[in-house]
Amino acid sequence: MLGVVALLALAGCSNADSGDGGVAEPTRPPGTRWAERFCTAYDAWVTSVTERLRAAQLLDPAMGPAAAHTTLTQVAAGARDDTTVVVGAVDAAGEPPIDDGPIIAVDIIHALQQAEAAFTDALSSLQSVNPNDPAILIPGAAGARAGLVNALSIARNELAAALSESHADSLTPAFAAAPACDGLFTAEG
């Protein structure tokens, strides 16, 4: 999937904390609760946005410009809305209770907000195109598809960067201990 490779570094770049204010449970590393919340929200977002992007990638120009425009507009709006939801969920998870936890949380929220802005921009671009003009729409549709795919890729790269900084190393055990993170950051067909 797009951008998954960028997050491969994540598994090796996170470390410990239970996410419950810095107090680790005896069997769980510090930050585990936060990692569980983050991975649950992130997985739901990636799954939803990836499905939406598949619809954009499978567009057949033979379906006509108006139908293509409608599909791409729905994809962009849905991806924007999905991203708004994940920003809220990650924000609600709070900060990982580790050194520099606030910095990590801000970096993650910022990366997701950048994706939200990119999806919003793609939607605005689509809304400015005449849906019935094939001369304008088809080149614009290809550009919109690329913009949507790039928005997800950029967000994943920024998230990987936020979680692979040296101050995020202490989350590694938490990601390893959180069931929601199992297999989330590995490359899949």
Q: Is the pLDDT of residue 21 over 50?
A: no
Q: Where are the domains of the chain?
A: 5-181
- Are the C-beta atoms of residues 42 and 11 closer than 8 Å to each other? no
Coil/strand/helix, residue 159: helix
* Per-residue pLDDT band at 140 (split at 50, 70, 90): low
Q: Which of 170, 154, 68 is nearest to 111 (CA)?
A: 154
- Are the C-beta atoms of residues 168 and 11 closer than 8 Å to each other? no
CATH T-level fold of 5-181? A middle domain of Talin 1 (1.20.1420)
Q: 5-14, pLDDT tens digit by residue?
A: 233 333 333 3
Coil/strand/helix, residue 18: strand
pTM metric for this prediction: 0.76
